[in-house]
Amino acid sequence: MRVLVVTAVPVERDAVTRAYGDEPEVRPVRGAEIHRAGPLDVLAGGAGPAAAAASAAFGLASGHYGLVVSAGIGGGFTPVAPVGSLVVSRRIGAADLGAETPAGFVPVTELGFGRSWHFPPRSLVRAAAAATGAAAGDILTVSTVTGSADRAAALLAAHPGALAEAMEGFGVAEAADLAGVPVLEIRAVSNAVGPRDRDAWRIGDALAALTGAFGKLIPVLEGWTRHDRDDTAD
């Protein structure tokens, strides 16, 4: 089973392929590059949910895949997901897809169309968390990265199970769902969700953690059986 991994930027892609140790095989596909390492085809698809969805759909159209993984670094909600830790998605949510009203934010589902959540397979979430030591919970997709304590508190109030935020997971999940392929998201935490403090960011440490995570995750992905594919998360 081949696995398509979609990251936002090349340094995340390279952190994933580095888990294999060897130089990846680079496959040019219509102007893009897919880096092949073992069972993984890794694509740096751009930042944000729209770019992630388009890139994941593009990648899925270029080959036959049994799983799509959204991977990279992201912000963690402290204290449950401290800087340097790993998180894996029980649910992948679109945190800011909806409408502002006088009564507050209304998610797209309450407006009567669309959806706000995707559900990775439970068995895969459990196996990935056990192999990597990642915490399992909700990972939120945002179009605007959180930059204040008030916004971080509002997100946690609306999504008490949230461990982290990033900008691509829901877009990748939308493409995977349209292709009928299960999805997973895994993030290494580079910073705390809240006020932007570049001096506190640990991007290098998070990228190293992402490499270590995939070194442990690859046997899980290779051993994950097709009969588990319909085992969606709660």
Tens place of pLDDT for every residue, the chain, 234 residues? Answer: 799 999 999 999 999 999 988 788 888 877 789 999 989 999 999 999 999 999 999 999 988 999 999 999 999 999 999 999 999 999 999 998 878 888 778 888 878 788 889 999 999 999 999 999 999 999 999 998 999 999 999 999 889 999 999 999 999 999 999 999 999 999 999 999 999 888 889 999 999 999 999 999 988 988 885 555 556 554
Q: Report the relative pairing of strands 67-76 and 135-141 from DSSP bridges.
A: unpaired
Q: How much is the pLDDT for 226?
A: 52
* Range list of β-strands (E), 38-154: 40-44, 67-76, 86-94, 98-101, 104-107, 117-118, 135-141
Task: Give residue limits of the domains in the chain.
Answer: 68-228
For the whole model, what pTM was predicted?
A: 0.91
Q: How many CB atoms lie within 10 A of CB 77?
A: 27
Q: How much is the pLDDT for 228?
A: 55
CA-to-CA separations, 104 to 8, 99, 107, in angstroms, rounded = 30, 8, 10
Distance of CA 35 to the CA centre of its chain: 18
Residue 165 near residue 155, CB atoms below 8 Å: yes
Q: How much is the pLDDT for 22?
A: 78
DSSP H or E stretch at residue 174: helix 169-179
Q: How many CB atoms lie within 10 A of CB 111?
A: 12
How far apart CA 9 and CA 191 sit, in angstroms, is 17
| Amino acid making up residue 58 | F
Q: Which residues contact 79 (CB under 8 A, 6 or more apart)?
A: none
CA-to-CA separations, 37 to 14, 15, 31, 111, in angstroms, rounded = 10, 11, 19, 42
Q: How much is the pLDDT for 229?
A: 52
Residue 78 near residue 190, CB atoms below 8 Å: no
> At 16, phi and psi to the nearest 5?
-70, -50
Structure tokens at 163: 């461990």
Structure tokens at 165: 């935020």
CATH no. for 68-228: 3.40.50.1580
Classify the C-alpha dihedral 41-186-210-12 as positive or negative.
Answer: positive
How far apart CA 203 and CA 93 sit, in angstroms, is 23
